[in-house]
Structure 1
Amino acid sequence: MSRRRRTFTAVVVTSFSSLLVLTASVAAQSENRDLIDGLEYQLLYVALPLTLFVLVILIYAAVKFHDNDDPQPTTEDPALEITWTAATAIILLFVGLSGYSVLVSPYVSPSQALDADDRSQGEIGSFEDLPDTGDEEIHVRGYQWEWQATYPESNATTEDEIVIPADRNVTVWLTSDDVVHSLFVPDLAVKQDAFPGRYTRARTIVSEPGRYDAVCAEFCGAGHSRMDAAIVVVEPDTYDQWLAETDGENVTEPPEPN
Protein backbone atom coordinates (compact mmCIF):
# COMPACT_ATOMS: atom_id res chain seq x y z
CA MET A 1 0.00 0.00 0.00
CA SER A 2 1.33 3.43 -0.92
CA ARG A 3 2.21 6.06 1.66
CA ARG A 4 -0.78 8.19 0.57
CA ARG A 5 -3.23 5.36 1.11
CA ARG A 6 -1.73 4.49 4.50
CA THR A 7 -2.06 8.12 5.55
CA PHE A 8 -5.69 8.26 4.41
CA THR A 9 -6.56 5.10 6.36
CA ALA A 10 -4.83 6.40 9.49
CA VAL A 11 -6.69 9.72 9.29
CA VAL A 12 -10.06 7.97 8.98
CA VAL A 13 -9.43 5.65 11.94
CA THR A 14 -8.06 8.49 14.09
CA SER A 15 -11.02 10.74 13.28
CA PHE A 16 -13.59 8.15 14.30
CA SER A 17 -11.65 7.28 17.46
CA SER A 18 -11.49 10.95 18.44
CA LEU A 19 -15.24 11.29 17.84
CA LEU A 20 -15.92 8.41 20.23
CA VAL A 21 -13.69 9.90 22.92
CA LEU A 22 -15.25 13.35 22.61
CA THR A 23 -18.84 12.15 22.72
CA ALA A 24 -18.20 9.81 25.64
CA SER A 25 -16.63 12.63 27.67
CA VAL A 26 -19.83 14.72 27.77
CA ALA A 27 -21.58 14.35 31.13
CA ALA A 28 -25.39 14.29 31.14
CA GLN A 29 -27.00 16.90 33.41
CA SER A 30 -30.56 15.61 33.13
CA GLU A 31 -32.47 12.38 32.60
CA ASN A 32 -33.61 13.69 29.22
CA ARG A 33 -30.05 14.30 28.10
CA ASP A 34 -28.93 10.92 29.46
CA LEU A 35 -31.62 9.09 27.47
CA ILE A 36 -30.92 10.88 24.20
CA ASP A 37 -27.13 10.65 24.57
CA GLY A 38 -27.45 6.95 25.36
CA LEU A 39 -29.42 6.41 22.16
CA GLU A 40 -26.86 8.34 20.13
CA TYR A 41 -24.02 6.27 21.56
CA GLN A 42 -25.84 3.00 20.80
CA LEU A 43 -26.39 4.05 17.20
CA LEU A 44 -22.84 5.33 16.92
CA TYR A 45 -21.38 2.04 18.12
CA VAL A 46 -23.37 0.27 15.42
CA ALA A 47 -22.68 2.81 12.67
CA LEU A 48 -18.96 3.13 13.34
CA PRO A 49 -17.87 -0.47 12.56
CA LEU A 50 -20.22 -0.54 9.57
CA THR A 51 -18.71 2.68 8.24
CA LEU A 52 -15.18 1.42 8.77
CA PHE A 53 -16.10 -1.88 7.07
CA VAL A 54 -17.44 -0.05 4.00
CA LEU A 55 -14.36 2.19 3.88
CA VAL A 56 -12.04 -0.83 4.06
CA ILE A 57 -13.93 -2.53 1.21
CA LEU A 58 -13.81 0.72 -0.79
CA ILE A 59 -10.07 1.10 -0.29
CA TYR A 60 -9.47 -2.57 -1.10
CA ALA A 61 -11.50 -2.34 -4.33
CA ALA A 62 -9.78 0.91 -5.36
CA VAL A 63 -6.32 -0.59 -4.81
CA LYS A 64 -6.99 -4.02 -6.33
CA PHE A 65 -8.99 -3.03 -9.40
CA HIS A 66 -7.77 0.47 -10.23
CA ASP A 67 -5.89 -0.75 -13.32
CA ASN A 68 -8.28 -3.53 -14.39
CA ASP A 69 -8.73 -3.17 -18.13
CA ASP A 70 -11.33 -5.97 -18.39
CA PRO A 71 -13.84 -5.62 -15.51
CA GLN A 72 -16.41 -8.40 -15.10
CA PRO A 73 -19.86 -8.20 -13.47
CA THR A 74 -20.33 -9.74 -10.02
CA THR A 75 -21.53 -13.34 -10.23
CA GLU A 76 -24.79 -14.34 -8.58
CA ASP A 77 -24.44 -15.48 -4.99
CA PRO A 78 -27.85 -16.14 -3.33
CA ALA A 79 -26.24 -16.94 0.03
CA LEU A 80 -24.46 -13.58 0.07
CA GLU A 81 -27.63 -11.70 -0.91
CA ILE A 82 -29.62 -13.44 1.86
CA THR A 83 -26.87 -12.65 4.35
CA TRP A 84 -26.71 -8.92 3.70
CA THR A 85 -30.52 -8.64 3.53
CA ALA A 86 -30.87 -10.38 6.91
CA ALA A 87 -28.05 -8.28 8.40
CA THR A 88 -29.76 -5.09 7.22
CA ALA A 89 -33.07 -6.21 8.73
CA ILE A 90 -31.38 -6.96 12.07
CA ILE A 91 -29.69 -3.55 12.13
CA LEU A 92 -32.94 -1.73 11.33
CA LEU A 93 -34.76 -3.72 14.02
CA PHE A 94 -32.08 -2.75 16.55
CA VAL A 95 -32.36 0.92 15.57
CA GLY A 96 -36.15 0.81 15.81
CA LEU A 97 -36.22 -0.86 19.22
CA SER A 98 -33.52 1.47 20.58
CA GLY A 99 -35.39 4.54 19.38
CA TYR A 100 -38.73 3.26 20.68
CA SER A 101 -37.35 2.58 24.16
CA VAL A 102 -36.30 6.24 24.38
CA LEU A 103 -39.40 7.76 22.77
CA VAL A 104 -41.77 6.07 25.22
CA SER A 105 -39.94 7.54 28.22
CA PRO A 106 -42.10 10.09 30.11
CA TYR A 107 -39.13 12.45 30.09
CA VAL A 108 -38.91 12.46 26.28
CA SER A 109 -42.61 12.07 25.44
CA PRO A 110 -44.74 13.34 28.33
CA SER A 111 -48.52 13.58 28.10
CA GLN A 112 -49.95 15.20 25.00
CA ALA A 113 -51.19 18.78 24.73
CA LEU A 114 -54.49 19.63 26.40
CA ASP A 115 -56.90 21.95 24.62
CA ALA A 116 -58.73 24.60 26.59
CA ASP A 117 -62.03 22.94 25.54
CA ASP A 118 -60.94 19.32 26.10
CA ARG A 119 -64.01 17.96 27.91
CA SER A 120 -62.37 14.59 28.59
CA GLN A 121 -60.17 16.38 31.12
CA GLY A 122 -62.90 18.76 32.21
CA GLU A 123 -62.95 22.37 31.10
CA ILE A 124 -59.39 23.71 31.05
CA GLY A 125 -59.50 27.48 31.12
CA SER A 126 -56.28 28.15 33.04
CA PHE A 127 -53.25 26.51 34.58
CA GLU A 128 -55.26 25.80 37.72
CA ASP A 129 -57.52 23.39 35.79
CA LEU A 130 -54.65 21.14 34.69
CA PRO A 131 -54.44 17.59 36.09
CA ASP A 132 -52.11 16.94 39.00
CA THR A 133 -48.88 15.22 37.94
CA GLY A 134 -47.32 14.54 41.32
CA ASP A 135 -44.20 16.43 40.19
CA GLU A 136 -42.89 19.83 41.17
CA GLU A 137 -44.96 21.97 38.80
CA ILE A 138 -44.12 25.27 37.16
CA HIS A 139 -46.42 27.23 34.85
CA VAL A 140 -44.69 28.98 31.96
CA ARG A 141 -46.37 31.44 29.64
CA GLY A 142 -44.67 32.54 26.43
CA TYR A 143 -45.44 35.82 24.70
CA GLN A 144 -43.67 38.12 22.28
CA TRP A 145 -40.86 38.05 23.30
CA GLU A 146 -40.43 36.85 26.85
CA TRP A 147 -41.09 33.90 29.15
CA GLN A 148 -43.00 34.26 32.41
CA ALA A 149 -42.85 31.50 35.01
CA THR A 150 -45.30 31.11 37.88
CA TYR A 151 -44.76 28.79 40.84
CA PRO A 152 -48.09 27.43 42.14
CA GLU A 153 -46.79 26.71 45.63
CA SER A 154 -46.06 30.37 46.31
CA ASN A 155 -47.72 32.20 43.38
CA ALA A 156 -44.38 33.93 42.75
CA THR A 157 -43.41 34.89 39.20
CA THR A 158 -40.13 35.33 37.35
CA GLU A 159 -39.38 36.82 33.95
CA ASP A 160 -37.02 35.05 31.56
CA GLU A 161 -35.64 32.92 34.40
CA ILE A 162 -37.19 29.59 35.36
CA VAL A 163 -36.13 28.21 38.74
CA ILE A 164 -36.32 24.47 39.33
CA PRO A 165 -35.00 22.16 42.06
CA ALA A 166 -32.27 19.62 41.38
CA ASP A 167 -32.91 15.89 41.86
CA ARG A 168 -36.70 16.24 41.71
CA ASN A 169 -39.14 15.38 38.95
CA VAL A 170 -40.26 18.68 37.46
CA THR A 171 -43.21 19.28 35.15
CA VAL A 172 -43.27 22.52 33.19
CA TRP A 173 -46.71 23.35 31.81
CA LEU A 174 -46.48 25.67 28.81
CA THR A 175 -48.91 27.88 26.94
CA SER A 176 -48.74 31.00 24.78
CA ASP A 177 -50.53 34.33 24.81
CA ASP A 178 -50.13 35.08 21.11
CA VAL A 179 -48.28 32.88 18.60
CA VAL A 180 -46.53 29.51 18.72
CA HIS A 181 -43.33 29.51 20.79
CA SER A 182 -41.00 26.67 21.76
CA LEU A 183 -38.93 26.36 24.94
CA PHE A 184 -35.62 24.70 24.12
CA VAL A 185 -32.86 23.95 26.66
CA PRO A 186 -30.00 22.33 24.70
CA ASP A 187 -27.85 21.28 27.67
CA LEU A 188 -30.80 19.51 29.32
CA ALA A 189 -32.27 18.11 26.06
CA VAL A 190 -35.65 19.66 26.90
CA LYS A 191 -37.79 21.02 24.06
CA GLN A 192 -41.53 21.66 24.02
CA ASP A 193 -43.81 23.89 21.95
CA ALA A 194 -46.19 26.40 23.53
CA PHE A 195 -49.49 26.98 21.70
CA PRO A 196 -52.17 29.63 22.19
CA GLY A 197 -55.18 28.12 23.96
CA ARG A 198 -53.39 24.81 24.65
CA TYR A 199 -51.29 23.45 27.50
CA THR A 200 -48.26 21.29 26.77
CA ARG A 201 -46.03 19.48 29.20
CA ALA A 202 -42.25 19.18 29.47
CA ARG A 203 -40.83 16.86 32.13
CA THR A 204 -37.30 16.53 33.45
CA ILE A 205 -35.12 15.77 36.44
CA VAL A 206 -31.81 17.65 36.61
CA SER A 207 -28.88 16.31 38.61
CA GLU A 208 -26.48 19.23 38.39
CA PRO A 209 -27.29 22.70 39.84
CA GLY A 210 -26.36 25.57 37.56
CA ARG A 211 -27.65 28.01 34.97
CA TYR A 212 -28.68 26.59 31.59
CA ASP A 213 -29.47 28.67 28.53
CA ALA A 214 -32.96 28.40 27.04
CA VAL A 215 -34.18 29.85 23.76
CA CYS A 216 -37.33 29.99 21.68
CA ALA A 217 -36.96 27.42 18.90
CA GLU A 218 -40.04 28.47 16.90
CA PHE A 219 -39.92 31.63 14.77
CA CYS A 220 -42.32 34.01 16.50
CA GLY A 221 -41.79 37.43 14.97
CA ALA A 222 -39.28 40.27 14.79
CA GLY A 223 -37.99 39.74 18.33
CA HIS A 224 -37.55 35.98 18.04
CA SER A 225 -33.76 36.14 18.32
CA ARG A 226 -34.06 38.01 21.63
CA MET A 227 -36.48 35.53 23.22
CA ASP A 228 -34.09 33.69 25.47
CA ALA A 229 -34.13 32.71 29.13
CA ALA A 230 -32.18 30.89 31.81
CA ILE A 231 -33.08 27.69 33.62
CA VAL A 232 -31.77 28.16 37.17
CA VAL A 233 -31.30 24.80 38.91
CA VAL A 234 -30.75 25.02 42.67
CA GLU A 235 -30.54 22.55 45.53
CA PRO A 236 -33.95 21.36 46.80
CA ASP A 237 -33.53 23.06 50.20
CA THR A 238 -32.62 26.33 48.52
CA TYR A 239 -35.65 26.03 46.25
CA ASP A 240 -38.05 25.37 49.13
CA GLN A 241 -36.64 28.29 51.12
CA TRP A 242 -36.87 30.58 48.10
CA LEU A 243 -40.54 29.66 47.56
CA ALA A 244 -41.32 30.32 51.21
CA GLU A 245 -39.69 33.77 51.03
CA THR A 246 -41.31 34.91 47.78
CA ASP A 247 -45.02 34.30 48.37
CA GLY A 248 -46.97 36.18 45.70
CA GLU A 249 -43.99 38.29 44.61
CA ASN A 250 -42.74 39.26 41.19
CA VAL A 251 -39.16 38.09 41.67
CA THR A 252 -36.41 40.02 39.88
CA GLU A 253 -33.46 38.13 41.39
CA PRO A 254 -33.96 34.35 41.65
CA PRO A 255 -31.60 32.31 43.86
CA GLU A 256 -28.16 31.53 42.59
CA PRO A 257 -27.12 27.90 42.11
CA ASN A 258 -25.00 26.55 44.97
Structure 2
Amino acid sequence: MFRRLAAPMLLGTLLGLAGCSGPLSTLDPAGPSAATAALLWWGMFAAFSLVWLAVVGLWLYAMFRQPASDDPARARRIEKRWIIGGGVALPVVSITVLLAYGIPAGHSMLPLPLDKGESLEIHVTAHQWYWEVMYPESGIALDDELHIPAGKPVDVHLRSADVIHSFWVPRLGGKLDAVPGRTNVQRLQADEPGSYRGQCAEYCGVGHAHMKFTVTAHTPEDFEAWKRQETQGDD
Protein backbone atom coordinates (compact mmCIF):
# COMPACT_ATOMS: atom_id res chain seq x y z
CA MET A 1 0.00 0.00 0.00
CA PHE A 2 2.69 2.48 1.03
CA ARG A 3 4.82 1.63 -2.00
CA ARG A 4 1.88 2.37 -4.29
CA LEU A 5 1.32 5.74 -2.63
CA ALA A 6 4.99 6.75 -2.50
CA ALA A 7 5.38 7.54 -6.22
CA PRO A 8 2.23 9.75 -6.53
CA MET A 9 3.12 11.58 -3.30
CA LEU A 10 6.68 12.24 -4.50
CA LEU A 11 5.41 13.44 -7.88
CA GLY A 12 2.90 15.73 -6.21
CA THR A 13 5.59 17.18 -3.97
CA LEU A 14 7.90 17.88 -6.92
CA LEU A 15 5.09 19.51 -8.89
CA GLY A 16 4.23 21.65 -5.88
CA LEU A 17 7.82 22.78 -5.41
CA ALA A 18 8.01 23.66 -9.11
CA GLY A 19 5.40 26.34 -8.48
CA CYS A 20 7.58 28.10 -5.88
CA SER A 21 9.34 30.27 -8.46
CA GLY A 22 8.33 32.54 -11.30
CA PRO A 23 7.40 36.20 -11.90
CA LEU A 24 4.25 36.03 -9.75
CA SER A 25 5.52 33.73 -7.01
CA THR A 26 5.40 34.98 -3.43
CA LEU A 27 7.92 32.25 -2.58
CA ASP A 28 10.62 33.72 -4.83
CA PRO A 29 11.16 37.02 -2.96
CA ALA A 30 13.34 39.82 -4.30
CA GLY A 31 12.92 42.34 -1.47
CA PRO A 32 12.88 42.47 2.33
CA SER A 33 9.11 42.73 2.71
CA ALA A 34 8.48 39.79 0.39
CA ALA A 35 11.28 37.80 2.05
CA THR A 36 9.65 38.26 5.47
CA ALA A 37 6.31 37.05 4.12
CA ALA A 38 7.94 34.06 2.41
CA LEU A 39 9.81 33.10 5.58
CA LEU A 40 6.56 33.26 7.55
CA TRP A 41 4.86 31.04 4.93
CA TRP A 42 7.64 28.45 5.02
CA GLY A 43 7.58 28.42 8.82
CA MET A 44 3.83 27.83 8.84
CA PHE A 45 4.22 25.18 6.15
CA ALA A 46 6.86 23.32 8.17
CA ALA A 47 4.91 23.53 11.44
CA PHE A 48 1.63 22.36 10.04
CA SER A 49 3.32 19.66 7.95
CA LEU A 50 4.58 18.23 11.22
CA VAL A 51 1.06 18.41 12.63
CA TRP A 52 -0.30 16.65 9.54
CA LEU A 53 2.33 13.90 9.83
CA ALA A 54 1.49 13.45 13.50
CA VAL A 55 -2.22 13.16 12.72
CA VAL A 56 -1.56 10.60 9.97
CA GLY A 57 0.74 8.66 12.30
CA LEU A 58 -1.90 8.59 15.02
CA TRP A 59 -4.53 7.50 12.51
CA LEU A 60 -2.33 4.60 11.36
CA TYR A 61 -1.62 3.68 14.97
CA ALA A 62 -5.35 3.65 15.74
CA MET A 63 -6.04 1.50 12.67
CA PHE A 64 -3.45 -1.18 13.36
CA ARG A 65 -2.86 -1.21 17.11
CA GLN A 66 -3.88 -4.13 19.25
CA PRO A 67 -7.02 -3.57 21.37
CA ALA A 68 -6.25 -2.47 24.93
CA SER A 69 -7.91 -3.77 28.06
CA ASP A 70 -11.34 -2.34 28.85
CA ASP A 71 -10.38 -0.44 32.00
CA PRO A 72 -12.82 2.55 32.34
CA ALA A 73 -10.52 4.52 34.66
CA ARG A 74 -7.55 4.13 32.30
CA ALA A 75 -9.69 5.05 29.29
CA ARG A 76 -10.81 8.28 31.02
CA ARG A 77 -7.20 9.20 31.83
CA ILE A 78 -6.20 8.72 28.20
CA GLU A 79 -9.16 10.80 26.99
CA LYS A 80 -8.20 13.66 29.32
CA ARG A 81 -4.61 13.57 28.08
CA TRP A 82 -5.74 13.85 24.45
CA ILE A 83 -8.17 16.66 25.22
CA ILE A 84 -5.58 18.67 27.17
CA GLY A 85 -2.67 17.91 24.84
CA GLY A 86 -4.35 18.02 21.43
CA GLY A 87 -7.27 20.33 22.20
CA VAL A 88 -5.62 22.91 24.45
CA ALA A 89 -1.81 22.73 24.58
CA LEU A 90 -1.16 22.22 20.86
CA PRO A 91 -3.36 25.12 19.62
CA VAL A 92 -2.06 27.48 22.33
CA VAL A 93 1.59 26.71 21.57
CA SER A 94 1.04 26.91 17.78
CA ILE A 95 -0.79 30.25 17.92
CA THR A 96 1.72 31.71 20.41
CA VAL A 97 4.69 30.82 18.21
CA LEU A 98 2.92 32.14 15.11
CA LEU A 99 2.05 35.46 16.78
CA ALA A 100 5.51 35.79 18.32
CA TYR A 101 6.99 35.88 14.82
CA GLY A 102 4.02 37.19 12.83
CA ILE A 103 3.46 40.42 14.77
CA PRO A 104 7.08 41.69 14.47
CA ALA A 105 7.13 40.52 10.84
CA GLY A 106 4.00 42.51 10.04
CA HIS A 107 5.38 45.54 11.89
CA SER A 108 8.57 45.41 9.79
CA MET A 109 6.48 45.69 6.60
CA LEU A 110 4.82 48.96 7.65
CA PRO A 111 5.88 52.23 5.98
CA LEU A 112 7.44 53.55 9.19
CA PRO A 113 8.81 57.12 9.11
CA LEU A 114 12.29 57.54 7.67
CA ASP A 115 14.62 60.49 7.45
CA LYS A 116 13.96 62.82 4.54
CA GLY A 117 15.48 61.50 1.33
CA GLU A 118 15.81 57.92 2.52
CA SER A 119 12.71 56.78 0.61
CA LEU A 120 11.22 57.55 -2.78
CA GLU A 121 7.56 58.60 -2.93
CA ILE A 122 5.41 57.48 -5.87
CA HIS A 123 1.70 58.18 -6.28
CA VAL A 124 -0.35 55.44 -7.95
CA THR A 125 -4.02 55.88 -8.85
CA ALA A 126 -6.00 52.82 -9.90
CA HIS A 127 -8.54 53.14 -12.71
CA GLN A 128 -10.73 50.68 -14.56
CA TRP A 129 -8.48 49.20 -15.91
CA TYR A 130 -5.03 50.72 -15.72
CA TRP A 131 -2.61 52.22 -13.22
CA GLU A 132 -1.76 55.93 -13.32
CA VAL A 133 1.72 56.52 -11.92
CA MET A 134 3.03 59.91 -10.84
CA TYR A 135 6.40 60.98 -9.39
CA PRO A 136 5.53 64.13 -7.40
CA GLU A 137 9.12 65.37 -7.05
CA SER A 138 9.89 65.30 -10.78
CA GLY A 139 6.42 65.45 -12.35
CA ILE A 140 7.01 62.24 -14.36
CA ALA A 141 3.72 60.54 -15.34
CA LEU A 142 3.42 56.95 -16.57
CA ASP A 143 0.79 54.28 -17.16
CA ASP A 144 1.15 50.68 -15.98
CA GLU A 145 4.83 50.94 -15.09
CA LEU A 146 6.93 51.99 -12.13
CA HIS A 147 10.66 52.67 -12.11
CA ILE A 148 12.50 52.48 -8.80
CA PRO A 149 16.10 52.45 -7.57
CA ALA A 150 17.27 49.06 -6.31
CA GLY A 151 18.25 48.88 -2.65
CA LYS A 152 16.18 51.92 -1.62
CA PRO A 153 12.77 51.95 0.13
CA VAL A 154 9.91 53.16 -2.05
CA ASP A 155 6.63 54.39 -0.57
CA VAL A 156 3.73 53.82 -2.96
CA HIS A 157 0.75 56.06 -2.13
CA LEU A 158 -2.28 54.20 -3.44
CA ARG A 159 -5.60 55.72 -4.43
CA SER A 160 -8.54 54.64 -6.56
CA ALA A 161 -10.55 56.73 -9.01
CA ASP A 162 -13.55 54.38 -9.16
CA VAL A 163 -13.83 51.00 -7.36
CA ILE A 164 -11.66 49.02 -4.97
CA HIS A 165 -8.51 47.64 -6.58
CA SER A 166 -5.53 45.83 -5.03
CA PHE A 167 -1.91 46.66 -5.78
CA TRP A 168 0.31 43.56 -5.71
CA VAL A 169 3.91 42.89 -6.73
CA PRO A 170 4.35 39.31 -5.43
CA ARG A 171 8.15 39.25 -5.44
CA LEU A 172 8.48 42.63 -3.68
CA GLY A 173 5.65 42.77 -1.14
CA GLY A 174 2.14 41.89 -0.13
CA LYS A 175 -1.21 43.13 -1.41
CA LEU A 176 -2.67 46.51 -0.50
CA ASP A 177 -6.09 47.80 -1.49
CA ALA A 178 -6.61 51.04 -3.37
CA VAL A 179 -9.86 52.43 -1.96
CA PRO A 180 -11.87 55.38 -3.32
CA GLY A 181 -11.56 58.43 -1.09
CA ARG A 182 -8.61 57.03 0.87
CA THR A 183 -4.82 56.91 0.51
CA ASN A 184 -2.99 53.74 1.60
CA VAL A 185 0.79 53.53 1.66
CA GLN A 186 2.86 50.47 0.85
CA ARG A 187 6.62 50.25 1.19
CA LEU A 188 8.47 48.25 -1.44
CA GLN A 189 12.14 47.60 -1.98
CA ALA A 190 13.96 45.58 -4.63
CA ASP A 191 17.24 44.03 -3.55
CA GLU A 192 18.60 43.80 -7.08
CA PRO A 193 17.96 45.51 -10.42
CA GLY A 194 15.42 43.70 -12.56
CA SER A 195 11.86 43.65 -13.84
CA TYR A 196 9.03 42.56 -11.55
CA ARG A 197 5.45 41.89 -12.56
CA GLY A 198 2.45 43.30 -10.74
CA GLN A 199 -1.26 42.60 -10.91
CA CYS A 200 -4.53 43.93 -9.56
CA ALA A 201 -5.54 41.33 -6.96
CA GLU A 202 -9.10 42.55 -6.33
CA TYR A 203 -11.85 41.80 -8.87
CA CYS A 204 -12.75 45.22 -10.28
CA GLY A 205 -14.82 44.52 -13.39
CA VAL A 206 -14.61 42.93 -16.81
CA GLY A 207 -11.07 44.20 -17.47
CA HIS A 208 -9.64 42.99 -14.17
CA ALA A 209 -7.49 40.21 -15.64
CA HIS A 210 -5.73 42.69 -17.93
CA MET A 211 -4.94 45.22 -15.17
CA LYS A 212 -1.23 44.41 -15.03
CA PHE A 213 1.86 46.54 -14.52
CA THR A 214 5.62 46.22 -14.25
CA VAL A 215 8.11 47.48 -11.70
CA THR A 216 11.59 48.04 -13.09
CA ALA A 217 14.38 48.35 -10.55
CA HIS A 218 17.50 50.18 -11.73
CA THR A 219 20.87 50.72 -10.16
CA PRO A 220 20.88 54.15 -8.44
CA GLU A 221 22.95 55.60 -11.27
CA ASP A 222 20.69 54.21 -13.99
CA PHE A 223 17.62 55.43 -12.12
CA GLU A 224 18.94 58.99 -12.03
CA ALA A 225 19.75 58.72 -15.74
CA TRP A 226 16.22 57.45 -16.41
CA LYS A 227 14.72 60.41 -14.50
CA ARG A 228 16.81 62.90 -16.48
CA GLN A 229 15.75 61.30 -19.75
CA GLU A 230 12.06 61.36 -18.79
CA THR A 231 12.10 64.98 -17.60
CA GLN A 232 14.00 66.13 -20.69
CA GLY A 233 11.51 64.31 -22.89
CA ASP A 234 8.64 66.25 -21.28
CA ASP A 235 10.26 69.64 -22.00
**Residue 189 of structure 1, CA deviation:** 2.9
TM-score in terms of structure 2 length: 0.79
Measured at CA, do residues 110 and 215 of structure 1 come closer, stay the same or move farther in structure 2, by a change above 3 Å? same
Measured at CA, do residues 16 and 43 of structure 1 come closer, stay the same or move farther in structure 2, by a change above 3 Å? farther
Equivalent-residue separation in structure 2 for 1:221 and 1:133 (angstroms): 38
Secondary structure in 2 aligned to 1:148?
strand
Runs of at least 5 residues in structure 2 that lack an aligned partner in the other structure: 22-26
The aligned counterpart of 2:173 is 189
What amino acid is the match of 1:97? A
Measured at CA, do residues 188 and 226 of structure 1 come closer, stay the same or move farther in structure 2, by a change above 3 Å? same
Equivalent-residue separation in structure 2 for 1:179 and 1:48 (angstroms): 39
Measured at CA, do residues 193 and 243 of structure 1 come closer, stay the same or move farther in structure 2, by a change above 3 Å? same
Deviation by residue 1:135-160 (Cα, 9 ceiling, x = unmatched)? 11111111121111111232111111
Contact 1:144/1:223, CA 8 A, preserved across alignment: yes
Deviation by residue 1:25-51 (Cα, 9 ceiling, x = unmatched)? 854201121011111121122212221
Equivalent-residue separation in structure 2 for 1:32 and 1:5 (angstroms): 41
Aligned length: 222
1:89 equivalent in alignment to 2:92:
yes
Runs of at least 5 residues in structure 1 that lack an aligned partner in the other structure: 112-131, 251-258
**Residue 23 of structure 1, CA deviation:** 8.4
The aligned counterpart of 2:24 is none
1:163 equivalent in alignment to 2:163:
no
What amino acid is the match of 2:41? E
Q: How does 1:43-82 map to 2 (within 5 A)?
A: 43-64=44-65, 75-77=75-77, 78-79=80-81, 81-82=83-84
The aligned counterpart of 2:210 is 226
Secondary structure in 2 aligned to 1:218?
coil
**Residue 241 of structure 1, CA deviation:** 1.4
The aligned counterpart of 1:238 is 222
State the identity as a percent.
29
What amino acid is the match of 1:52? L
Equivalent-residue separation in structure 1 for 2:13 and 2:71 (angstroms): 36
Q: How does 1:1-258 map to 2 (within 5 A)?
A: 4-8=1-5, 10=6, 14=10, 27-64=28-65, 75-77=75-77, 78-79=80-81, 81-84=83-86, 85-105=88-108, 107=109, 109-110=110-111, 134-247=118-231
**Residue 83 of structure 1, CA deviation:** 3.7
Measured at CA, do residues 239 and 95 of structure 1 come closer, stay the same or move farther in structure 2, by a change above 3 Å? same
